[in-house]
Amino acid sequence: MNTQTEQTDIRPSALEELLTLPLRGENPYILDWKANGGKVFAYVCSYVPEEIIYAVKGVAKSRYLPVRLGAAGCNNTEDADIDLSRCLCSFARSTLQMGLDGAYSYLDGLVFSSSCEQMRRSFEFWRDKRHPDFLAMISVPRTTDTNAHFEWYLEEINNVRTKFGQKYGLLSSKAALNETIAIYNRFRELMLTIYALRLGDAPKLTGTQALKIAQAGFNMPKEIFNTKLEAAIEEIMQRPGITDYRARVLLAGSPVDDPALVEIIEGTGALVVTDALCTGRKFIEGMVDEGSDDPVRAIAKRYFSKETCPRMMDGTDSRVAYVKRLAKEANVDGVIFQYITFCDNHNIENIIESRALEKEGIPTLTLEREYQPKDVGRLRTRVQAFMERINK
């Protein structure tokens, strides 16, 4: 054990580790979790509260880890295309493909939501072809402005908890829920710090790096992630800021959980300094009330009152104001909207939001892309021309 100091020296720093965390079956934290008797559940959208999964304290060592379902690196969707036509979203097809390929063999189950029709329908193929040990669906209301809709959503969340209980004989205690809430609020606070470090004239990290950190956060127990992130933030603070960028941009639109797209954008000299993504800022903004007598209700409230997804029937004005606020806060030169081909909600929302922003003199660009952006040249041409437009 004399070599321990040496070993410590060659270990990657916390920041390095977060930036290079392997995904899925190679993720050491997921492997550890499984090796220790834990269970892993994937969820598909930010209307599935991670806390209700994380708070389940199982018998003996079986703890429950929520991870966000992603398919970064998915190269083809030929098997998924048999079930979901090529005229459907490539995120739904990519995740199903990886499911069919067995890339998520570590998963004990999945929690879907009805947020988007294409993901909702992919549920059926997961059920019939992969037979996960546990499968649940949260029906998310399409309006957020009435109490009745909130009660509906709360009931859906409680149904999933009950389903966990029926399957595994376990329910999360109030104490476990409150403990989880504290961990998750700390997670949000730290992630907001990452955003704050990108605001100044010399941002401390690129959009690609910020997204890699977020991606690590989706795939690690939050308790460990928080500790790593605290150390990483210390490291980031020591770094010189980035000044050799052409323009500051905000990224909005369809979910982005794969750094590839941001790398293409930043390859043209743009720096993504903030975002309005459900895998980014929208995922972490808004705290859950701590010390509540009814923690599940408190959790549901946070998820139901956060900035909405365009699949909601209301909230367009609020989402436009949200993007404007973030654009101003980060002092961006332009906003890049993107949507995955056939993502109706974000395609239409992009049009509405970009018109509103252009009217106020904020330049916008809208990109159509596949979940796994392969046509790099086509995207680069558009982003480069946008840079040339806003550079003046």
- Report whether 163 contacts 137 (CB < 8 A): no
- Report whether 89 contacts 118 (CB < 8 A): yes
Among the residue ranges 49-57, 143-151, 271-279, 363-371, the one whose residues contact other proteins (CB under 8 A): 363-371
Among 151, 230, 360, 375, binds other proteins (CB under 8 A): 375
Does the footprint of other proteins cover residue 360 (CB under 8 A)? no
DSSP, residue by residue, 134-188:
EEEEE---S--SSHHHHHHHHHHHHHHHHHHHHHHS----HHHHHHHHHHHHHHH
Residue 339 main-chain phi, psi, to 5 deg? -140, 145
DSSP, residue by residue, 300-312:
HHHHHHSSPPTTS
DSSP, residue by residue, 95-144:
HHHHHHHTTTTT-SEEEEESSSHHHHHHHHHIIIII--SEEEEE---S--
Does the footprint of other proteins cover residue 139 (CB under 8 A)? no
Q: How far is the CB of 327 from other proteins (least distance, A)?
A: 17
Does the footprint of other proteins cover residue 389 (CB under 8 A)? yes
For the packed helices 174-196 and 222-238, what is the interaxial angle rounded to 10 degrees?
20
Q: How far is the CB of 128 from other proteins (least distance, A)?
A: 31
Q: How far is the CB of 116 from other proteins (least distance, A)?
A: 20
User: Quick one: 89 or 210, whose CB is closer to other proteins?
Assistant: 89
User: Quick one: 62 or 341, whose CB is closer to other proteins?
Assistant: 341
Does the footprint of other proteins cover residue 378 (CB under 8 A)? yes
Does the footprint of other proteins cover residue 260 (CB under 8 A)? no
Does the footprint of other proteins cover residue 380 (CB under 8 A)? yes
Among the residue ranges 13-21, 145-153, 228-236, 379-387, the one whose residues contact other proteins (CB under 8 A): 379-387
Does the footprint of other proteins cover residue 377 (CB under 8 A)? yes
User: Quick one: 21 or 365, whose CB is closer to other proteins?
Assistant: 365
Among the residue ranges 172-180, 182-190, 217-225, 368-376, the one whose residues contact other proteins (CB under 8 A): 368-376
Q: How far is the CB of 376 from other proteins (least distance, A)?
A: 10
- Report whether 48 contacts 236 (CB < 8 A): no
SS3 of 41, please?
A: strand
- Binding footprint of other proteins, residue count (CB under 8 A): 17
Between the alpha carbon of residue 36 and those of residues 22, 116, 255, 336, 361, the distances in Å are 19, 34, 32, 43, 55
Cβ-based neighbour number of residue 249 at 10 Å? 31
Q: How far is the CB of 74 from other proteins (least distance, A)?
A: 18
Q: Return the residues of window 323-352 that contact other proteins according to CB under 8 A.
A: 341
Residues that bind other proteins (CB under 8 A): 341, 358, 363, 368-370, 375, 377-378, 380-382, 384-385, 388-389, 392
